[in-house]
Each structure stands twice: as structure tokens, then as C-alpha cells.
A = this chain, B = another copy of it.
Amino acid sequence: MQSQMEHPMETMMFMFYRFAEDKGYLTKDDLRVLMEKEFSGFLENQKDPLAMDKIREDLDQCGDGKVGFHSCFSLIVRLIIACKDYFVAHM
């Protein structure tokens, strides 16, 4: 049986593959769809209209238009840390 921590870890792993599908990486369009579906609140609160492009460029470390598993999780961890900082500041 999975623990309370293992279950969300597995969910996040499979969510990546839901958008990456068999090719195993996210294209520009995959990342846009993932962000729009999963982080719509984050995008709505962005004042910078180029935020989505900046995120994609930042994650596309090799400049080949592909965002892999590691890069995608670096974004998710940064979002978790931002949420935690907000949570701690407003506790």
C-alpha cells in the first residue's frame, strides 16, 4: 500500500506522461496545455504576458524545443517552494 507521500509522487509522475505521451518529453504546445490545465490560477495571476514563453525557454535547457522530465520537475518544485513561501508568510 502506498504511503501518503508516495501517492502524490506517483500522481505527479504520471501527469507528466499524460502530456508527454509516448515521446517522453514536452513540446512547446504540450507545456502550454499542461500549464493551462494544471496551473491556470498561476497563469491568470501573471502580469507578464510573456511569462509562459520565459518559462518554456528556461526549461528548454538544450534549446531543442523539448522539455524533459527533470526540467519539468524543476518547475514544479519551484512552484511548490513559491507556494510554501506564500503559505509561511500568510500563516
Contact = CB atoms under 8 A, between A and B. Distances in A.
A3 B37 contact: yes
Majority secondary structure, A binding face: helix
A71 B43 CA distance: 27
A77 B83 contact: no
Copy number in the complex reads: 2
A69 B85 CA distance: 10
Given A5-B39, A6-B39, A37-B3, A13 B70 contact: no
B87 A81 contact: no
Classify chain A's interface size: 20 to 34
Contact of A77 (B39, B77, B84): B77
21 contacts: A3-B39, A3-B40, A5-B11, A5-B12, A5-B34, A5-B38, A6-B38, A6-B41, A7-B11, A8-B8, A8-B9, A8-B11, A8-B12, A9-B76, A12-B80, A13-B80, A13-B84, A16-B84, A69-B81, A70-B81, A77-B77
